Structure 1
Amino acid sequence: MTAPTADLLLGDFHVHSTFSDDARSTLAENISAAASVGLRRLRLTDHVRSSTTWVPEFVRAVAAEPVPSGLVVVTGVEAKLLDASGAVDTPAGLIVGRAGGVDAVVIGDHQFPGTDGPWSPAATRERLAGNLSVDDALDLFVTASIRAMERTPQAQLAHWFSILPKIGLAENDLGAERLAAWAGAAARTGTIVEVNEKWACPGRAAVVALQAAGARLVASTDSHDAADVGRYERVQRILAAADDTSEPTDTTGWMR
């Protein structure tokens, strides 16, 4: 394991608490778990949508938690990418990157960013079986991803490309040109990209593209239970594969 990879594994940049309706652990339990496994960096992150009103309470609650020496705790809210314009489902008036607000907007590809709003995986598969070509779908997704990064300051991409298997596609379908455009946008906009344990994405070729572009990578578990905080297997394998320069990367072009 190279030194940069080892350093990445000392952070967990996507950890949910009971502020999310599908998580089990409190903020305090997550902080304690991070310290117990020797993490140095932790992003406490919870799900929001446009109707969410509890973000100020979340920020105050995190600020009130004691943090062990050697651990830096930052905050985020996870919101879904909505459509091809790059719109993200965040509450009106959300404060990001300054006092009283969260440190980042963690954007998730929970549904496919359609031309008229988010498409469910089932609806996207129906379009792919109809008039939507694979290339057009991939171009639409990458373009929406880039637009989301451009219009969302202080952004982090969560489990990016996790939507692809749900619609019958794979990261390898993207090709080198799409990955380079996406990675270049992440570097240009200062968007952080997480390598996600839960969904095992993005994969090796995407990580290599991010590294080549000079984009910032972090590791995350997407934990919903404190027992999982900072515990990596799949992320470690992805990063190790990206460090292995003997393994060829995908060279498929943007348009097949």
Structure 2
Amino acid sequence: MTPAGSAPTQRELLLGDYHVHSTFSDDAHSTLADNLAAADAAGLRAIRLTDHVRAATTWVPEFVAAVAAERIPSGLRVITGVETKLLDASGAVDLPSDLIVGAPGGVDAIVIGDHQFPGPDGPWSPGATRERLASGLSEEDALDLFVTASVRVMERTPHAQLAHWFSILPKVGLSEDGLGASRLTAWADTAARTGTIVEVNEKWACPGPAAVAALVASGARIVASTDSHAAAEVGRYDRVVRILDEAGMPA
């Protein structure tokens, strides 16, 4: 275990996969049992089984019961989550109203993805965001809007984990490089203050080294994830290792 208040090593991070999808998600291919077996084969010590939800989703109790019924490999810690999307600049998220989080009968975390751009009037698609940028929304104002929404969603959402954060930026023609130190510090400080976990995501290769370094400096909790949709991907890291190296995290 990493001592309280100290940053984890790369080796410690890579022994976990905190974002793994199963057939409870309509775009994934592996069962819960497949993913657990893959985690065991990869030598992982922790896995977060995570599937997509929306406000209308009704199967979360079935998912929780199915996880509880699985045989857990020795030495593997299994935790659960549901992945939802950030909706708007107020920090609202798309969740079932009866969702139980952090208590018996519920999931352990809400995994929040930046699937669309959080506008003040609701989620903007990448195309709609690019149109606004072309029509006069400045890059600086857009980045301020995104970071403000990021801060607000962490403040509003207990038991949260940020998934593939900043993945929306290149989709709309923006870059993490434009965020700058002050925005990254505000974001990272909020993660530390609220106890929000931030994953470094293999599939989307984000957040990048500067953001990871800001999280480490703020004392926020970082985990590794593959965002796997097939068991063969569980615990298999390449891009995450490069990000951690560039962020200066010890091996």
Asked whether the two chains share a fold, i.e. TM above 0.5, the reply is yes
Equivalent residue, structure 2, for 1:126: 131
Give the match for residue 199 of structure 2.
194
- Report the 3-state secondary structure (helix = DSSP H, G, I; strand = E; otherwise coil) of the residue aligned with 1:44: strand
Q: What CA deviation, in whole Å up to 9, does each residue of 1:194-231 have, x standing for no partner? A: 00000000000000000000000000000000000000
Residue 26 (str. 1) matches residue 31 (str. 2): yes
- CA separation of 1:168 and 1:54: change in aligned 2, threshold 3 A: same
The structure 2 residue matched to 1:161, chosen from 135, 141, 166, is 166
Residue by residue over 1:89-132, the C-alpha shift from the partner in whole angstroms, topping out at 9 and shown as x without a partner, is: 01111100000000000000000000100000000000001121
Letter in 2 for 1:108: G
Q: List per-residue Cα deviations over 1:171-203 (Å, max 9, x = no partner).
A: 001000000000000000000000000000000
CA distance in 2 between partners of 1:155 and 1:85 (Å)? 16
Number of aligned residue pairs: give it. 244
Distance 1:3 1:180 in 2: 19
Say whether residues 1:215 and 2:220 are aligned partners. Answer: yes
Give the one of 69, 75, 86 matched to 2:74.
Answer: 69
CA-based RMSD: 1.1
TM superposition shift of 1:54: 0.3
- Over 3 Å off, 4+ runs: none
- Please say if residues 191 and 198 of structure 2, whose CA atoms lie closer than 8 Å, have aligned partners that are also in contact: yes
d(CA) in 2 for partners of 1:242 and 1:167?
25
**What does residue 142 of structure 1 align with?**
147
Q: Structure 2: which 5+ runs fail to align? A: 1-6
Q: CA deviation at 1:242?
A: 1.1
Residues 55 and 95 in structure 2, CA contact (< 8 A), matched pair in contact too: yes
Match of 1:44 in 2: 49
Question: How far 1:244 sits from its partner (Å)?
Answer: 6.2
- TM-score of the pair, normalised by structure 2: 0.96
2:189 to 184, 188, 201: 184
- Asked if 1:4 is matched to 2:5, the reply is no
Within the candidate set 99, 102, 112, 2:104 is matched to 99
CA distance in 1 between counterparts of 2:196 and 2:9 reads 19
1:250 match: none
**1:31 match: secondary structure:** helix
TM-score relative to the length of structure 1: 0.94
Q: What code does the residue aligned with 2:194 have?
A: T
Q: Distance in 2 between matches of 1:3 and 1:150?
A: 24
Quick check: 2:10–2:249 contact (8 Å CA) kept in 1?
no
In structure 2, what is the Cα distance between the partners aligned to 1:89 and 1:153? Answer: 14
C-alpha distance in structure 2 between counterparts of 1:53 and 1:99, whole Å: 17
- Superposed CA deviations along residues 10-60 of structure 1, whole A, max 9, x for unmatched, are 000000000000000000000000000100000000000000000000000
Structure 1 segments unaligned to the other structure (5+ residues)? 246-256
